[in-house]
Structure 1
Amino acid sequence: MHLSIKQLNKFILFITLFVSSNLTSQSNCLSNSVPFNDGEEVIYDIEYLMGKTWVTAGKARFIVKDSIFKDQSCYYVEGKGRTLKNYDWFFRVRDKYASFISKKTMLPMHFIRRVIEGEFFLNYDYDFNYKENIALIYETRKQGSKRDTIDIIDCSFDIMSSVYFSRAIDFTQFKENDTIPMNVILDKEIFKDLYMIYIGKKKIINQNNKEIDCIHFKVNLIEGTIFKANESMNVFVSNDENRIPIYVEAEILVGAIRVYSKSIKGTKVPIKYLN
């Protein structure tokens, strides 16, 4: 169980990596449409396949708020993941990821990562400087603190801002099996060789037995301690103006993970249910 909860926690991070399209060929990063607004809240149940049984072992909550950062109007987007209290005595997880996104450019201004995993503790703060194309990183662990600088490219996104920006992708321009490259900043490194594959449309039934018309795509995953080589994550987002991630599934080194939207509130337009 200890290993399973650790894998679950790391998946909480990767469910934020739904999509992050490579926009470096565009003259700017501003989307024509913003599919979210102040007050949006989505709560997910995270289930782990234990043997032949699916067990709800964690929850994740994503919110959007209007905010001000360094005198600029912005969106504050936040994702929190945690293990359920029943599993805390095995391995307690309380993780937080947040980003301040400029309303003018839709680029991240500041990124926050707070990690508590058992006895492990980690804080990351990123400050983005687009004039010099660098990100200043402040890292704090139990052993102490340090500062780093990494080079970034045009339209670079942290994992939180990439989720919300990429919900504005116009999928009508893609055909089945079209590939879209991605740039993702993760743990002081830019991954440029990731991609998503557009699959098509599919109807998904959520945990409340509501049927939702969804867009289906796959995201290739970073091989490591959780995911297998050449594996992908199946993602289903609502086929409407909101582009809410409804359901996610992926195989991991031991078992599988699936994520259901449990509660959706404050969307830009009401979610369209088919029943």
Structure 2
Amino acid sequence: MAKFIATFFLMLVAYAPVFSQTLAYVKNSSFDAGEVLRYKLKYGFITAAEATLQVFDSDIKFGGKPAYHLVALGRTYSAFDFFFKVRNRYESYIDKTNYTPFMYAEDIKEDNYRRVDKVKFNQTERKITGNEGTFTSPVSQTFDMVSAYYFARNLDLTGIKPGDQLTLTYFLKDEVTPLTIEYIGKEVIKTAKGKIRCLKFSPSISPGRIFKKNSQLFLWITDDENRIPVKAQAEVIVGNVTMEIADATGLKRPLQIVK
């Protein structure tokens, strides 16, 4: 369950050709300070957890550059804590101009497992420094799982076609990793906010303790200028897990609801 919460953020990936050195982005941001997105996570028919994503203006500047402060929270509901208790907090400070991260921090509490980390990014030198030392990235834009989500929302999808495969490079747990995703097509889905036109993607996943050999993972984002993920769904070893949007406030632009 906790692994899926983390995977959810990683699914929100950049839309650029595999092995691209520079990912193009739109300068008119899809989000602004004050935005709050809330999601519910369901295991089968059971609502087990929630995730919240927030955007703040930061008082901290990095090399004189202004930054957004992004906060993502993931937690199980009290009724589910008996099975597996999660209280996770992820934070990222990103450049307001190009949306790449300056710094990332995580405070993970998953049952008896604890992990606290603080990561610094030097995009110019392609260096990432974390708990276990300094790592080198093959590209000049490397993300943590929170900044990846917000960067992805600002990418230009003009010309994308079903079957196109895309990628983004991220740093997690002391490892630099590429994540590949396939664009499936357009679809209208029903959400707590109403019916919404969406773009559908299928991120790559590795079988193991969470996912089955032939498991598929799907992500739907709004087909508008907000580019908000509204649903994610995956097959796991036993059953299905779904993340659905519960509320969205402080949006830069109104959601386009299908009448």
Q: Does TM, normalized by the shorter one, top 0.5?
A: yes
Moved more, 168-177 or 94-103: 168-177
TM-score (norm 1): 0.86
Unaligned runs of 5+ in 2: none
Q: What amino acid does structure 1 have at the position aligned with 2:202? A: K
In 2, distance between residues paired with 1:214 and 1:30? 20
Q: CA offsets per residue over residues 106-132 of structure 1, 9 Å max, x none? A: 210001111011122110110112343
Q: Does the alignment pair 1:260 with 2:244?
A: yes
In 2, distance between residues paired with 1:231 and 1:184? 22
In 2, distance between residues paired with 1:21 and 1:126? 24
In 2, distance between residues paired with 1:191 and 1:21? 16
Q: What amino acid does structure 2 have at the position aligned with 1:134? A: K
Q: CA offsets per residue over residues 93-148 of structure 1, 9 Å max, x none? A: 1011111001133210001111011122110110112343211103xxxxxxxx41
Q: Does the alignment pair 1:183 with 2:174?
A: no
- Aligned residue runs from structure 1 range 167-182, under 5 A: 167-182=153-168
1:150 aligns to what? Answer: 135
- Aligned residue runs from structure 1 range 44-59, under 5 A: 44-49=39-44, 54-59=45-50
Unaligned runs of 5+ in 1: 1-7, 139-146
Q: What amino acid does structure 1 have at the position aligned with 2:51? A: A
Residue number among 25, 34, 38 corresponding to 2:29 in the alignment: 34
In 1, distance between residues paired with 2:6 and 2:23? 27
Residue number among 45, 50, 64 corresponding to 2:55 in the alignment: 64
In 2, distance between residues paired with 1:114 and 1:101? 18
In 1, distance between residues paired with 2:168 and 2:213? 18
TM-score (norm 2): 0.91
In 2, distance between residues paired with 1:107 and 1:92? 31
2:188 aligns to what? Answer: 203
Residue number among 110, 120, 137 corresponding to 2:130 in the alignment: 137
Sequence identity of aligned pairs in percent?
Answer: 30
| Alignment length (residue pairs) | 254
| Contact persistence 1:220–1:230 (CA under 8 A) | no
SS of the equivalent of 2:3 reads helix
Q: CA offsets per residue over residues 228-259 of structure 1, 9 Å max, x none? A: 33533211111111000011101112211001
SS of the equivalent of 1:12 reads helix
1:246 aligns to what? Answer: 230
In 2, distance between residues paired with 1:164 and 1:129? 18
Q: What amino acid does structure 1 have at the position aligned with 2:38? A: I
- Aligned residue runs from structure 1 range 6-155, under 5 A: 8-17=1-10, 18-21=12-15, 25=20, 31-49=26-44, 54-67=45-58, 68-70=60-62, 71-138=64-131, 147-152=132-137, 153-155=139-141
| Contact persistence 1:241–1:268 (CA under 8 A) | no
In 2, distance between residues paired with 1:39 and 1:222? 35
Give, in angstroms, the shift of residue 165 of structure 1. 0.4
Give, in angstroms, the shift of residue 264 of structure 1. 0.5
RMSD of Structure 2 on Structure 1 (CA): 1.9
Give, in angstroms, the shift of residue 32 of structure 1. 3.1
Q: Does the alignment pair 1:222 with 2:206?
A: yes
In 1, distance between residues paired with 2:230 and 2:256? 12
Q: Which has the higher strand share?
A: 1
